[in-house]
Structure 1
Amino acid sequence: MTFDVPTYEWGRDGGMDAGVTGHLGFTDEGCTMLYQPGQEDKALPLVFPNATGIRYSNGARAVIDEHGDLYGVEGQPLSYAGGWVDPNESWTATCGAYDGPEVVMVNDEPAHGPSATEPAPPDAAVPTRLPTAADLGWYDVPTFVWDPEQGGDAALLEGRVTFTDDGCAVINHDGVRTGLVLPNARGHRGDHQGGAGIYATFPEVEIMIAEPGADAAYGGGSRANSGELADEWARLCPGSPVDNLFQVYDEDPWQ
């Protein structure tokens, strides 16, 4: 029996060529995942080109291409050319929204021809769901939507960034404790991908915009400790009182 899996049309005309290795998994809904043995809770969405899922009579699941050639079998290792991209329609059209950081895309031919026999079902535990962004260490921070082309305030705040127990970024300068409200931002605990810090997403790039212990110079503007930004700070950083806030309009505070 065949079933839909996330996929995209590929004309076998090249693409990303990083090494994609791991084991093939499926969610309960039949969405494909890449996982490493011993790190089943860190699985990532996986998208094959021109792909269809197939369930055999013994319960084993696999992925084939439009010719019936075999990409991989649930629980078994695989290795292909491909890369890591932001979540996109190739995943969401079949499997819905994903709030994690990235999707693994394969740009390669199937490694095997059509299977002449039914492959065996997994003989060890396999993941059955994708981790959420929170599972992967991401968390909400005070932020706002900003495109650098819009410009913004140009006052300067310099100092060493420290993180509170809530994971919020502050700068202490001349006895004043200032909370940073960073653009297009989300925080990361540093226990999976990348180091601990706050990351900002701009067109074409995501950068670490606040790093614990780093000296920085932010362009932006001071804000009174009241209003919508202050309310968001109080909600997301309840154990992190500050004297005022600084709304950052800057995409490179490390210059």
Structure 2
Amino acid sequence: MKIDLSGKSALVTASTGGIGFAIAQGLAASGARVILNGRSEDSLARASAKLLAAVPGVQLRGVAADLGSDAGVQHLLDALPEVDILVNNAGIFGPLDFFETDDATWEQYWQTNVMSGVRLSRALLPGMVSRRWGRVVFISSESARNIPADMVHYGVSKTAQLALSRGLAKRVAGSGVTVNAVLPGPTISDGFAEMMKDEVARTAKPLEALAREFVMTHRPSSVIQRAASVEEVANMVVYVCSTQASATSGAALRVDGGVVDDIV
């Protein structure tokens, strides 16, 4: 299968590192024009240089904007060209006991993880519908279905993304535009590497080995019995954004290594 996104413009939010960058690189390698997004000009400059080195000749631009507020989303929208592919990857996470999670924290997670996608989809979907082609993808999590007891606030926001993507798929039914959610499981991302850096220093074990130990301790239902790479997650997203995936819409597509223990 050869995925060709030549002539398509793709916005990937929170794409200066981790899963977001891998998605941007995959889309660029498939011929798409790519719009990177991060919270600082410095991170955008580093990511842009890395992407240009990986995919020479890619048509690329970057927009610095914090998507945790309406104003930040609007700043991004004001700088955008026409967009054919929207990947809602912006999100925050972190463990916190439910009884210690105050309203401000709930609101922060809701604004960043849910409302950024609501606002961008509301603004960009009409253009896709009018052109009779488009792709919207929400990067959710296996935590949407396997709510972590130590991150209830995060799990709730990720479950909301599943409802949002399904509802939007129905809203634009028959238009040629698809809307889907992709659910990564444990992934060796920049965030995971940062979380494990002290353990790497203490044990001198490779990050991949520590990631496997993490999976077997905290996600023992994993079928692949290891963490995924960011590229493995990106492969699913790039496919969902392709013309070949035109019959897939309203779906929650798992790249969780089989952590969620069911058959659908």
TM-score, normalized by the shorter chain, greater than 0.5 = no
Larger Rg: 1
Structure ranking higher in helix proportion: 2
Structure ranking higher in strand proportion: 1
State the TM-score, normalizing by the size of structure 1: 0.21
State the TM-score, normalizing by the size of structure 2: 0.20
